[in-house]
Amino acid sequence: MKIDFKKELKQLFAPGTKDFVLVDVPCFRFFKIDGEGDPNTAPAYTAALETLYPVAYALKFACKKELQCDYVVPPLEGLWWADNMAAFTANLDKNQWKWTMMIMIPDFATEDLIAASRESAARKKPLPLIDRLRVETYSEGMCAQIMHVGPYDAEGPTLQRLHREWIPEHDLVENGKHHEIYLSDPRKSAPEKLKTILRQPVQPR
């Protein structure tokens, strides 16, 4: 059977839309690429996705062939921040945004398969940021998260409510970068139907 991590890890990938919930996020491995600038216009953002997806799919097919383990490629994720966080939470100047785009790697994928998948994907076509692609573990621990349904540019009020109200009211403080998980394909879904998990690592004050 094909593994779907969104279903296997439902507690992490299916929060409600009305209020924030606390979850404990374990350590995962990811393919990662760093960049900065407006995701709507920055060439580096497009290049990051054009590099991440081919390698992620190459690994999927390698695991199916070599390990007989088939799975749905996990959704694209992004860590977002800015030197002035108001530029992010208030959706002001997106050119100031910095980001790490990433796709989760299954724990059964061996280091040899990961390396081979990277090489095979690069042989099939030029990958613009292959030299900046890295494999890295990422551990978040306690996080507050919510499901946002709608355009990406409409996330601002929810983020402000999280940072200015919900986190202080629960005697918590931020403990890492803002994290988004993109469950919808913007090429196939109407903006008002896009589903995005908004996640913020937190810790007790």
Q: What is the pLDDT of residue 84?
A: 74
SS3 for 181? strand
Pseudo-torsion of CA 97, 25, 201, 94, nearest 10°?
10
Q: Does 88 have pLDDT greater than 80?
A: no
- Rounded average pLDDT over 73-94: 80
Distance CA 78, CA 80 (A): 6
Tell me the percentage of the chain whose pLDDT exceeds 70. 96
Q: How far apart are CA 71 and CA 57, in angstroms?
A: 10
Q: Where are the domains of the chain?
A: 5-204
- CB-CB neighbours of 156 under 10 Å: 14
Average pLDDT of every residue of the chain: 94
> What is the CATH class of 5-204?
alpha beta
* CA 90 vs CA 1, 33, 126, 143, 161: distances in Å: 43, 24, 37, 21, 11
pLDDT (tens digit, 9 = 90+) per residue, 124-139? 999 999 999 999 999 9
pLDDT at 89: 63
- Give the pLDDT of residue 94: 81
Instruction: Output 84 or 162, whichever has higher pLDDT.
Output: 162
pLDDT reading at 50 higher than 60: yes
Check whether 188 has a pLDDT greater than 70: yes
Question: Tell me: the pLDDT tens digits for 157-182?
Answer: 999 999 999 999 999 999 999 999 99
Predicted confidence band at 19 (pLDDT cuts at 50, 70, 90)?
very high
Q: Hey, is 91 helix, strand or coil? A: coil
Which pLDDT tens digit goes with each residue over 93-118?
788 889 999 999 999 999 999 999 99
Contact 147, 196 (CB under 8 A): yes
Question: What is the rounded CA–CA span in Å between residue 127 and residue 121?
Answer: 8
pLDDT tens column, 35-47: 999 998 999 999 9
